[in-house]
């Protein structure tokens, strides 16, 4: 890639959340999916039963977290919203996300932007494989479930 082409990638890196939004200094980090330390399975009360997470970092300015989430096959994340935008990449499996009133079928490599305050939910097909997503939040995590 020559220098001219590199300039085209810089805005994309910000768009996809690969470059921190804040101007705070960050330490280098390389993470491999097979080396993650997962939390014990949890869930219930709107969260997918059996969900596990692995935190990668926290932005010191926005307090937005970056983490992996593992949703077991057949699980469902009830309809909810967050105050801050959320950026997601599917890194394993397949799932369906409902954004507002529209469903989207996602597979490995899919990218999703979930604007703050947009109602959304996740469903992983039964009988398939577990789904893993990488999430970056633009601010502190909060969950507001509908119908609760």
Report the CATH number that the domain containing residue 67 is assigned in CATH.
2.60.120.10
Which pTM value belongs to this model? 0.82
- Residue-wise pLDDT for 58-87, tens only, equals 999 999 999 999 999 999 999 999 999 999
Mean pLDDT of the residues in the chain: 87
**Mean pLDDT value across residues 6-35:** 60
Predicted local distance difference test score (pLDDT) of residue 21? 52
Provide the number of structural domains found in the chain.
1
Domain that holds residue 110: 3-145
Contact of 78 with 97, CB cutoff 8 Å: no
């Amino acid at each position: 890639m020559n220098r001219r082409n590199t300039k085209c990638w810089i805005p994309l890196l910000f768009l996809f959340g690969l470059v921190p939004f804040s101007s705070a200094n960050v330490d280098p980090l390389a993470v491999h999916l097979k080396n993650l330390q997962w939390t014990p399975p949890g869930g219930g009360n709107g969260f997918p039963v059996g969900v596990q997470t692995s935190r990668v970092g926290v932005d010191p300015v926005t307090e937005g977290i970056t983490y992996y989430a593992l949703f077991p096959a057949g699980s469902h994340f009830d309809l909810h919203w967050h105050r801050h935008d959320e950026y997601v990449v599917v890194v394993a499996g397949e799932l369906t996300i409902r954004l507002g009133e529209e469903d989207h079928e996602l597979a490995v490599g899919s990218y999703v932007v979930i604007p703050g305050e947009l109602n959304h939910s996740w469903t992983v097909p039964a009988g398939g494989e577990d789904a893993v997503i990488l999430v970056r939040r633009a601010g502190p995590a909060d969950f507001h479930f509908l119908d609760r």
